[in-house]
Amino acid sequence: MSEIHRKTGVILALDVTKKEEALLISKEVAGFVDAIKIGYPLVLGTGLSIAKDLSKIAPVIADFKVADIPNTDRLICEHVFSAGCDAVIVQGFTGSDSLMECVKTANEFQRKVFVVAEMSHPGGDYFFTDAVSKEIAALAKKAGAFGIVAPATRPERVKELRAVIGKDLKIISPGVGAQGGSAADTIKAGADWVIVGRSIYGAKDPKAEAEKIKKEIEKLI
Ligand code: C5P
């Protein structure tokens, strides 16, 4: 288990599906990212044991967008944390009991929960309207989550959600690069980390791309 500390401001979204590729890219970019986010593509492709391998390189965030009844959520989170993940991403729309069960389980394992406040793709604000996103963010704060997920593709929403949660919770923001978001604008809007997938792992030189984003963020400090 390792803590997620902000050094670079970058989280790698590792949506490749082969173990060798996942390990190779992670080792290459290790000094330029603060955590590695894994999700269904990689875990379905390689098995959950990939989490332990990657946790030797950087803290691992399991993006399973957990969204079930409290008992099932607990069972999922227990597996995720036992597998070596340092944090899990869950949905907040399931309501406070489900969310609180995830946070309770994370606390038992001394791990962290991030709650999706809004998706980053074009259709992402269809159901996650401004009011709903804010309500979910407020619920995440009330439940004791470590942070929320907010869209880098809509920096203005990052800013508004930061105002809702204050300084206590972290914001991680996907949507930089391939989805059109800018790392600098997202951090300026109040995110702690940008999450970057395809622009890093799909680049000819993933290390150079990760370093470029790290430097873009450094310039703001
Ligand atoms: O390749 P790209 O940089 O677009 O990857 C973004 C990552 O963040 C993907 O793993 C995607 O599933 C995830 N994500 C997102 N929007 C959210 C939550 C997660 O794009 N709101």
- Asked whether the predicted pLDDT for residue 34 surpasses 80, the reply is yes
Residue 2, pLDDT score: 80
- Asked whether the predicted pLDDT for residue 221 surpasses 80, the reply is no
User: Mean pLDDT across the stretch 155-169?
Assistant: 97
Query: Given the structure tokens 């080792």, which residue do they identify?
Result: 27
Which residues does the annotation place in the binding site for substrate? 15, 37, 63-72, 120, 174-184, 197-198
- Render the burial of 50-63: b for 16+ CB within 10 Å, e for the rest: bbeebbebbbbbbb
Question: How many angstroms separate the CA atoms of 133 and 119, rounded?
Answer: 9
Residue 1, pLDDT score: 72
Nearest Cα neighbor of 99 from 115, 83, 79 is: 115
Q: Could you confirm whether 68 is annotated as catalytic?
A: yes
**27, 53, 68, 104: which one is catalytic?**
68
- Give distance in angstroms: CA of 176 to centre of ligand 1: 9
- Give distance in angstroms: CA of 196 to centre of ligand 1: 8
**65, 141, 207, 212: which one is catalytic?**
65
Q: Which two tokens stand for residue 104?
A: 């309770």
Q: Could you confirm whether 204 is annotated as catalytic?
A: no
Site to probe by mutation for ligand 1, drawn from 91, 132, 195, 198 as the one with most ligand atoms within 8 Å of Cβ, is: 195
- Give distance in angstroms: CA of 120 to centre of ligand 1: 7
Whether ipTM exceeds 0.90? yes
pTM comes to 0.97
